[in-house]
Structure 1
């Protein structure tokens, strides 16, 4: 069966939450977030007002997700999307899932008249950088800081 990329829905909650925890804790080695906070975030994204998620499904099993947040760019004086996450489970990497998720985000951005889609990845995540370059992305001129 082929991969289906679609917007997330309420019924995806258990599988999506498990994938998000894998991404947060296992892949990025970040602390496990409070269960209620993660549930609340997924609920906000299901409303599709401040952002949304696409999922990649194969044989009824979610294998990846991408998160788009909606915001504005002062320099563009227009609305933009920020692809905050693009994750594919390890056993499904190297398939068409990542490109399917990326293309869904890009299409949504264009179809809904956003001026641009921005994203970032870790400086040492060379595999992701090669993927984004293959998708037509290019490194920006700005550095990211956090506090």
Structure 2
């Protein structure tokens, strides 16, 4: 494990949108999903900072640069009858992995869920990402083996919604 660099966690600000967009592209490359990425600063900005934001983000700064982000939103549990926090994406640049940034982001998100009175904190992990799975389990998360994500997107969504 590398020595922890100095880093600052904070809520994302409008000036961070280009950096977050760049990190999203890095994440997509890591996940071998670059062909699916459509995000630009112009398309992301209104969802974070527009009239009706639907997502929030935390960023980590090190050396004056944004080097990590966590993008999250509120979901709802009908069983608990309480909102929850859903982490859509968390990404730390490879050179800073193992420095404590990822854990700090997750712990801050957990604290946000508690502060807001949410009933749970959830996220997904790719089944091939063994390092992430071990990291999450070490932090106390349960990887839910019985649940699968269902998704309709693109042209299929247009047909389905017609």
The answer to whether the superposition gives a TM-score over 0.5 is yes
**Structure 1 unaligned residues grouped into runs of 5+:** none
Larger radius of gyration: 2
CA distance in 2: counterparts of 1:35 and 1:125, whole angstroms: 23
**TM-score (structure 1 length as normaliser):** 0.88
| Alignment partner of 1:126 is 2:130 | yes
* Aligned length, in residue pairs: 145
**TM-score (structure 2 length as normaliser):** 0.81
CA RMSD of aligned residues (A): 1.9
Q: Deviations along 1:72-91, whole A, 9 cap, x unmatched?
A: 11122211111111111111
Alignment map for 1:7-26 (pairs within 5 Å): 7-24=11-28, 26=29
**Runs of at least 4 residues off by over 4 Å:** none
Aligned partner of 1:80 among 75, 78, 84: 84
Aligned partner of 1:143 among 140, 147, 154: 147
**Structure 2 unaligned residues grouped into runs of 5+:** 152-162
CA distance in 1: counterparts of 2:39 and 2:82, whole angstroms: 34
Q: Deviations along 1:27-46, whole A, 9 cap, x unmatched?
A: 1121153345x633343123
